[in-house]
């Protein structure tokens, strides 16, 4: 990967994100255009019948294992987040799948209220996920790619690739629990070496593991709460990474995510998220208000 310059690769990543967003938007538009045409050609009775069937096919947006075509927009303390997801048939019985792409931190200097000195209006990070779930046993698998454009203590630019498995447990009263475990690889551009010098180009920092769960508490049929704790730890790699993977002298990290959610109608919800960890308190963490629509 060192054949590519930093600027070339980052431009490719941004172009890929924009292309993916465009394709997802086009697919969503085509689906709705076909739906409109079918409705126009049918009788009034058929239109009502199709609408009822479509409503019945909508997924439960409060379920972490739900798979559906979607779009989301979030206002955060670090700027604007954009999310687009497209469901597809993986060709396996009893299995559903989707691709999801997120662009985070747009217009952070103008719209974000974070007090950090490095705020700007450019993209902070991009995230791509491929998610598949086996409906027969409530088990999901996720490929997750993240790339961050802001410099940190490990590298000028950094990212990670991971794969994790999530399992739905039987419902317990108002509570649903979905344990998750995964493994990943961390990489960076201009990685800091043990002697403080920089390894020019892209290279692998090391490997890591993550375990945690998604928790859901149902309040009403329209309101629910989430608490999602995760523990991450470095497994192998450079001595710098193994000792400081998640901050100075922090080889591991315990994180928290809390969400309050309201389902406006079967297709639309609004969600408030708070993210913090053992080294960053709640007030100084990340906060966002997000709206999501199911197509």
The per-residue pLDDT for range 169-199, each reduced to its tens digit, is 999 999 999 999 999 999 999 999 888 888 8
- Say if residue 44's pLDDT is above 50: no
pLDDT (mean) for 220-232 = 98
pLDDT digits (tens, 9 = 90+) for 104-142: 999 998 988 887 767 789 999 999 999 999 999 999 999
Higher pLDDT, 50 or 246: 246
- Say if residue 203's pLDDT is above 70: yes
Q: How far, in Å, CA of 79 to CA of 110, rounded?
A: 8
Please tell me the predicted confidence (pLDDT) of residue 75.
97
Please tell me the predicted confidence (pLDDT) of residue 50.
43
- Give the range among 18-22, 57-61, 125-129, 286-290 with minimum mean pLDDT: 18-22
Burial of 199 (0-12, 13-18, 19+ CB in 10 A): middle
- Say if residue 7's pLDDT is above 90: no
Q: What are phi and psi of 47, to 5 degrees?
A: -60, -45
| Inter-CA distances, 193 with 69, 71, 115, 177, 239, Å | 43, 40, 30, 40, 8
- Give the range among 2-11, 255-264, 282-291 with minimum mean pLDDT: 2-11
Q: How far, in Å, CA of 231 to CA of 268, rounded?
A: 31
pLDDT (mean) for 274-280 = 97
Are 267 and 278 contacting, i.e. CB atoms less than 8 angstroms apart? Answer: no
Please tell me the predicted confidence (pLDDT) of residue 194.
85
Domains, the chain:
6-294 (2.40.160.40)
Residue 256, CA atoms < 13 Å, CB-side half-sphere: 14
Sign of CA pseudo-dihedral 260, 265, 266, 270: negative
Please tell me the predicted confidence (pLDDT) of residue 164.
98
Please tell me the predicted confidence (pLDDT) of residue 20.
52
- Say if residue 51's pLDDT is above 70: no
- Say if residue 37's pLDDT is above 90: no
- Say if residue 72's pLDDT is above 50: yes
**Confidence label for 9 from pLDDT (cuts 50, 70 and 90):** low
Are 173 and 133 contacting, i.e. CB atoms less than 8 angstroms apart? Answer: no
Q: What is the pTM of this model?
A: 0.82
Beta-carbon contacts of residue 290 (< 8 Å; ≥ 6 apart): 72, 73, 74, 75, 81, 270, 271, 272, 273
pLDDT (mean) for 228-248 = 95
| Inter-CA distances, 93 with 58, 90, 132, 135, 204, Å | 19, 9, 12, 9, 37
Beta-carbon contacts of residue 17 (< 8 Å; ≥ 6 apart): 101, 103, 123, 126
- Give the range among 36-45, 213-222, 280-289 with minimum mean pLDDT: 36-45
In degrees, to the nearest 5, what angle opens at C-alpha 103 toward C-alphas 237 and 35?
A: 130
What is the radius of gyration, based on Cα positions, of the chain? Answer: 21
Please tell me the predicted confidence (pLDDT) of residue 103.
98
* SS3 call for 58: coil
Q: How far, in Å, CA of 248 to CA of 244, rounded?
A: 5
Are 46 and 63 contacting, i.e. CB atoms less than 8 angstroms apart? Answer: no
Higher pLDDT, 260 or 193: 260
Q: What is the DSSP letter of 38?
A: H
Are 144 and 181 contacting, i.e. CB atoms less than 8 angstroms apart? Answer: no
Return the axis-axis angle of helices 44-57 and 6-41, rounded to nearest 10°: 140
The share of the chain scoring above pLDDT 90, in percent, equals: 72
Please tell me the predicted confidence (pLDDT) of residue 47.
33
């Amino acid at each position: 990967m060192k054949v590519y310059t930093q600027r070339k690769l980052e431009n490719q990543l941004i172009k890929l994100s924009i292309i993916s967003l465009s394709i997802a938007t086009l697919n969503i538009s085509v689906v709705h255009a076909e739906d409109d045409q079918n409705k126009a050609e049918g009788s009034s009775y058929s239109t009502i019948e199709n609408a009822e069937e479509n409503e019945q096919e909508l997924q439960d947006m409060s379920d972490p294992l739900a798979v559906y075509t979607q779009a989301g927009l979030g206002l955060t303390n670090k700027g604007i987040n954009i999310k687009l997801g497209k469901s597809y048939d993986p060709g396996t019985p009893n299995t559903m799948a989707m691709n999801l792409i997120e662009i985070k931190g747009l217009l952070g200097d103008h719209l974000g209220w974070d007090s950090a000195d490095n705020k700007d209006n450019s993209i902070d990070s991009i995230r791509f996920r491929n998610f598949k779930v086996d409906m027969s046993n409530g088990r999901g698998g996720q490929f997750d790619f993240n790339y961050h454009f802001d410099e940190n203590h490990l590298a000028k630019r950094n990212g990670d690739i991971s794969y994790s498995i999530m399992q739905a447990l039987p419902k317990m009263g108002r509570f649903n629990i979905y344990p998750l475990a995964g493994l990943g690889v961390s990489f960076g551009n201009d990685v800091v070496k043990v002697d403080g010098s920089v390894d020019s180009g892209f290279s692998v920092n090391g490997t890591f593991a993550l375990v945690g769960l998604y928790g859901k508490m149902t309040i009403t049929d329209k309101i629910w709460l989430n608490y999602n704790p995760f523990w991450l730890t470095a497994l192998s790699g450079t001595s710098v990474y193994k000792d400081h993977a998640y901050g100075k002298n922090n080889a591991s990290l315990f994180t928290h995510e809390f969400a309050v959610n309201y389902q406006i109608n079967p297709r639309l919800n609004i969600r408030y998220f708070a993210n913090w960890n053992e080294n960053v308190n709640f007030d100084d963490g990340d906060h966002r208000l997000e709206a999501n629509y199911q197509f």
